[in-house]
Structure 1
Amino acid sequence: MNELQTILADSVNGLLAERVTRDLIQKAEDGTWPEDLWNELEANGLTRVLAPEAEGGAGGTWADAAIVLKAAGRHVAPLPLAEAVLAHWLLAESGIPAPDGVLTVMEGNFALAGGKLSGTAPRVPWGRNAAHGVALVGAEIVLAPLAGAAIAPDINVAREPRDAVTLKNVTVQSASVALPENALRLFGALIRACQMAGALDYLAAQTVAYANERTQFGKPIGKFQAIQQQLAVLATQAAAAGIAADHACASLNKGDAAFEIAVAKIRADDASSIATSIAHQVHGAIGFTYEHGLHFATRRLWSWRAEFGAGAEWAESLGRETIARGADALWPYVTAR
């Protein structure tokens, strides 16, 4: 780790470990907005890790941001921290000054005309809590105030807000950017892959700890070979997802990383299916109860799999690209990455 990464790791992990309690997550799932924690995250500059220093950011790279994003997943923070990191980066890329307050990203069917935005974005993360939303309309990044938006509340499996946001002739700021047409979905997939890698780390640590505490037939269940085998598979899946996410972030620092991001999301989705199954089998019934924190991570993993493109969607995209290049180009393309 470099100096900035060390500072980020100490700051975000220390803050979330101290403040994200079971009680806070339960209240957030019941609709209570943890404003104090959000204010602390903003005060520490963690939402602006990718923003330039001249704009009050840390001037970090995506490798630096990965530390914050994975921590958000590891501590299952009930806040749009990942979405805010992405939104601030998009605004910085477009040269639009970032406003104060909660930021989220909106992927929907929008029309921009005469500086006014109209349309609807389904399942906007934390839409009801956000002051502004960032969208990509054609080749333009758009910053839209949400004070006058029509909000239709909805939630995901983890009971996180995923609201439909409708705007009608809302005055916005916009600027052209040199980003892929699917940039919002692409980089959204990256932030989810990082969050999922963090949640998988938590899952592995929590399951190993439980297996060493829970006794059966006079000894911890973690001493049984069958359980050890499953724990090894879980740890392997978590490690693979983490490496794929880190590699995608590092590749993005160098330029085009669409291939690596697709791989990271596919790998995180596959790992989540396997790891959550093992974790709940090892924990048994206790893992589903509100007296235990396991389900806070597994329900988010199940939800995040489907967001910004499921693994199957990204796999199909890679398959189509491979066919278009031809069989002879596949191996050189993969090894060149």
Structure 2
Amino acid sequence: MFAEAIEEILKDQCTPAAVRAIEGGKTPARLWSAIADAGYLELLAPEEAGGAGLPLAELFPILTTLGRYAAPLPLAQSIAARALLSHASEIPGGMLTFAPALRRMEDGRLVCPLVPFGTLAEQVLAEDAGGLLLLDCANALRTPTGVYGSQVATLAWSADSPGCRLVGAGAELASFSAALYAALLAGVMQRVFDMTLQYANDRSQFGKSIGKFQAIQHQISVMAEHVAAASIAAEAAFQSDTGRPAGLAAAIAKSRTSEAAQLVASTAHAVHGAIGITEEYDLQLFTRRLHEWRMAHGSEMHWDLIIGRAVLGSEAPSVTDFVRALGA
């Protein structure tokens, strides 16, 4: 129900033209208001705090829908943040994103490197010595990556900058971030696959659609396998009764979706050819998300190390038994 309703909003407000405009520096107020006014930011917040108290599993299709539309705003993070901050006396309004890391410099400055949606977020939530630190971006120096269309920026606050306050425990921030991006990646991969399949059926060469050629069929088949496997791994991270993604399930989800993102993007561009990299064609809107979200909060290599240590430290006789135990 919620996924279908938010898709109706995104069809109207999150068109490729709107994504391009926001990436180009236009105000995101219209899209943000459409989602916020419909109450979607409070989906995970408990009912006593004015939220919907939605089970975590029901959030997954909503996040994949955001991914399919290449949502250029930190909507997923803002939804999760309101759940993490539900115990706080005051939850900030506006766009809120998660920092992958927080560094305290010798001169007292706070630096959050490569923050997803750091170019336009109004608040940043970071883990700090086991707690959560909320930082006001109005007081931050933003340094964009310079990559075309990227919404990632490094944020820095001076030693005497106001607006920083501890708001709770931060142990869940990393796993929540991994799960969120796994779901977003699963959604955008499905969109890229659908576009690639449609293009292969529509594009003709030598008197027949290129999708009839065995080499193209093979590439698309492998692509479909990775999209399906990534989606299953991502959904598994949301099968929790606690309202929070389990750490190892989230790690596996982010690892698998990040790994698949590279292959899906490269196959899509291989099948599309030159048209796929043109600014006018929509494919690049989604494959750029694949590459950017793959790196957000750690690529597959980061999460593979965490998973590997857990496997080596477990008593499971095999990796298969280890994975099965996670779902038990």
Give TM-score, length-normalised by structure 1.
0.87
> How far did 1:285 drift?
0.6
Partner of 1:163: 154
Contact in 1 for aligned 2:238/2:245 (Cα 8 Å): no
Query: 131, 139, 147: which one pairs with 2:130?
Result: 139
- 1:10 partner amino acid: E
| Deviation larger for 118-127 or 215-224 | 118-127
Q: Is the 8 A contact 2:114 2:154 kept in 1?
A: yes
Instruction: Tell me how far apart the structure 2 counterparts of residues 160 and 212 of structure 1 sit (CA, whole Å).
Output: 33
Mark the runs of 5 or more structure 1 residues left unpaired by the alignment.
1-5, 112-116
Q: 1:37 to 1:176 in 2, by over 3 A?
A: closer
The answer as to whether partners of 1:120 and 1:165 remain within 8 angstroms in 2 is yes
What's 2:97 paired with?
Answer: 104
Q: Is the 8 A contact 2:55 2:243 kept in 1?
A: no
Deviation at 1:190, TM superposition (A): 1.2
Offset at 1:20? Answer: 1.8
Deviation, 1:48, is 2.1
- 1:313 is matched with 302
Alignment match of 1:187 (pick from 156, 173, 176): 176
In 1, Cα distance between the equivalents of 2:277 and 2:260?
A: 20
Q: Is the 8 A contact 1:185 1:309 kept in 2?
A: no
**Matched residues in 2 for 1:259 and 1:161: separation?**
26
Partners of 1:255 and 1:200 lie apart in 2 by 24
| Aligned mates of 1:255, 1:295 — CA distance in 2 | 33
Q: 1:13 to 1:200 in 2, by over 3 A?
A: same
How many pairs align?
Answer: 322
**Percent of aligned pairs with the same residue?**
34
Structural RMSD (CA): 2.3
Alpha carbons of 1:330 and 1:275: their partners in 2 closer, same or farther (altered >3 Å)? closer
CA shift in 2, pair 1:332/1:279, >3 Å: closer
Is the contact between residue 128 and residue 161 of structure 1 (CA under 8 Å) also seen in structure 2?
yes
Listed as ranges, the gaps of 5+ residues in structure 2 are none
- Mapped to 1, the partners of 2:245 and 2:10 lie a distance apart of 32
Task: String of CA shifts for 1:283-305, please: whole Å, max 9, x gaps.
Answer: 11111112211111111111111
Q: 1:175 aligns with which of 147, 167, 176?
A: 167
Q: 1:55 to 1:159 in 2, by over 3 A?
A: same
Question: In the alignment, does 2:46 pair up with 1:57?
Answer: no
Query: How far apart in 1 are the matches of 2:116 and 2:255?
Result: 21
Q: Given the superposition, is the C-alpha separation of residues 157 and 64 from structure 1 closer, same or farther in structure 2, using an over 3 Å criterion?
A: farther
